[in-house]
Amino acid sequence: MNSLAFLNELIGMPPNASEHGYQIDHIIEFSHWFMFGLFLGWSAFFIYVLFRFRRSRHPVADHEGVKSGISTHLEFAVVLIEAVLLIGFAIPLWAKRVNSFPDDKDAVVVHAIGQQFNWNFHLPGPDGIFGRRDIALVTNSNPLGLDPADPASKDDLVVLGELHVPKDRPVIIELSSKDVIHNFALPHMRIAQDAIPGQLVPMWFKPIKTGNFEIVCGQLCGLGHYSMKGMLVVDEPAEYQAWLKERVELSGTQAAPPPTERPPAEPPVGPTPGTVAPPGGPKTANPSGEPDAKPGEPPKAPSPHGN
Ligand SMILES: [Cu+2]
């Protein structure tokens, strides 16, 4: 792979960090060398034609033209090589990516949810089951709209911006979006997939190097598109388990007391329609999303907006 990485480095591709990535690199590298060969060939042909059919040698146009069939053969060869690249390499590689998913049991399965302009991650927690999500339940404190009534959602983890995965284990990411079409692109992992509202689109890869790798949005999705970045952290399996444990513990201690038990001095945390929690902002559990009632006051009636 290193012998083939010269052109890829030249065009600014980051080093590959996934198991299948070298195959993508091979195709990109070969295509570029092939295009370079074509460029040299056609340039030489162009210069030859300029010289061969110069005015001093051909003062009058020849209406019969070229009789040799060599250019037809050359063009056929180019089409053949391109067809082999497409049918023999690109399509099988793509088919393997989208058809042969690893078993859920062997893989780390994560939901990634795009929104203008950051990436949210939903992890199933210790029970391994994703809680139900409903866009109607989305509030500032519940950015993914996790359903508190679903027992599977109790231990779920919601992480903003940074996703940890273990090395040498397949990762399945199921993508969706809260607003517009985004694209979950992992340049180092040589994979990208559109995140489409209302759909759960899976993608998978197997990281083979530890480190921090940038997650970017690969679709122009609005004014803040340039800032829609995240971080994929590939850990050694033990470090990954430690991170997971820490997240589970944190999510346990961060859970705010039920609304009626909140300290009286604390300002209410209510949803503001049309706004989203900043990435890395304080995470509070207020599943109802309603501003808290003051002690002694009757709970407020549901708002007319039906949050
Ligand atoms: Cu985006």
Each residue's pLDDT expressed in tens, for the chain with a length of 307 residues: 444 567 778 888 888 999 988 888 888 888 888 889 989 988 998 999 899 888 888 888 778 777 888 888 888 998 998 899 899 888 988 888 888 888 888 889 999 999 888 999 998 887 888 888 888 888 888 888 888 888 888 888 888 889 999 999 999 999 999 889 999 999 999 999 999 998 899 999 999 999 999 999 999 998 999 999 999 999 999 999 998 888 888 876 544 433 444 444 544 444 444 445 455 545 444 444 444 444 444 444 444 444 4
Token digits of residue 280: 């890395």
Token digits of residue 12: 């600014």
How far is ligand 1, taken at its centre, from the CA of residue 49, in Å?
Answer: 49
* 141 CB neighbour count, 10 Å cutoff: 19
How far is ligand 1, taken at its centre, from the CA of residue 213, in Å?
Answer: 17
Q: Tell me the C-alpha to C-alpha distance, in Å, between residue 268 and each of 203, 258, 286, 294.
A: 40, 12, 10, 9
Taking each helix axis from N to C terminus, what angle separates 70-83 and 21-52, rounded to the nearest 10 degrees? 170
Q: Are residues 121 and 53 in the same domain?
A: no
Q: Is residue 17 part of a domain?
A: yes
Give residue 221's identity as a one-letter amino acid code: C
Q: Are residues 120 and 240 in the same domain?
A: yes
Q: Are residues 190 and 130 in the same domain?
A: yes
Of the residues 49, 81, 99, the one at which a domain ends: 99
Tell me what pLDDT residue 54 has. 87
Q: Is residue 134 part of a domain?
A: yes
How far is ligand 1, taken at its centre, from the CA of residue 152, in Å?
Answer: 29
| Residues 47-58: b if buried by 16+ CB within 10 A, e if exposed | eeeeeeeeeeee
Q: Are residues 144 and 82 in the same domain?
A: no
How far is ligand 1, taken at its centre, from the CA of residue 122, in Å?
Answer: 17
Q: Are residues 88 and 122 in the same domain?
A: no
Q: Is residue 276 part of a domain?
A: no
Q: Is residue 244 part of a domain?
A: yes
How far is ligand 1, taken at its centre, from the CA of residue 107, in Å?
Answer: 26
How far is ligand 1, taken at its centre, from the CA of residue 119, in Å?
Answer: 8
Q: Are residues 88 and 115 in the same domain?
A: no
Tell me what pLDDT residue 252 has. 63
Closest by alpha carbon to 214, among 240, 234, 232, 197?
232
Q: For residues 289 and 307, what is the distance between their CA atoms, to the nearest angstrom?
A: 7
Q: Are residues 95 and 112 in the same domain?
A: no
Q: Are residues 147 and 222 in the same domain?
A: yes
β-bridge partners, 234: 165, 211
How far is ligand 1, taken at its centre, from the CA of residue 117, in Å?
Answer: 6
Q: Is residue 145 part of a domain?
A: yes
Q: For residues 184 and 196, what is the distance between their CA atoms, to the nearest angstrom?
A: 10
Q: Is residue 261 part of a domain?
A: no
Residues in CB range of 150: below 8 A, 6 or more apart: 131, 132
Count the domains in the chain: 2
| Long-range Cβ contacts of 81-85 (<8 Å, 24+ apart) | 81/34, 85/27, 85/30, 85/31, 85/34
Q: Are residues 78 and 116 in the same domain?
A: no
Q: Is residue 16 part of a domain?
A: yes
CATH code assigned at 151: 2.60.40.420
How far is ligand 1, taken at its centre, from the CA of residue 219, in Å?
Answer: 6
Tell me what pLDDT residue 5 has. 67
Q: Are residues 131 and 89 in the same domain?
A: no
Pseudo-torsion of CA 147, 152, 155, 161, nearest 10°? -60
How far is ligand 1, taken at its centre, from the CA of residue 217, in Å?
Answer: 5
How far is ligand 1, taken at its centre, from the CA of residue 113, in Å?
Answer: 10
User: Which domain, by its residues, includes 34?
Assistant: 5-58+69-99
108-115 sheet: strands from edge to edge? 157-160, 118-123, 108-115, 171-177, 201-205
Tell me what pLDDT residue 68 has. 81
Q: Are residues 75 and 211 in the same domain?
A: no
Q: Is residue 289 part of a domain?
A: no
Q: Are residues 230 and 130 in the same domain?
A: yes
Tell me what pLDDT residue 302 has. 46
How far is ligand 1, taken at its centre, from the CA of residue 177, in Å?
Answer: 9
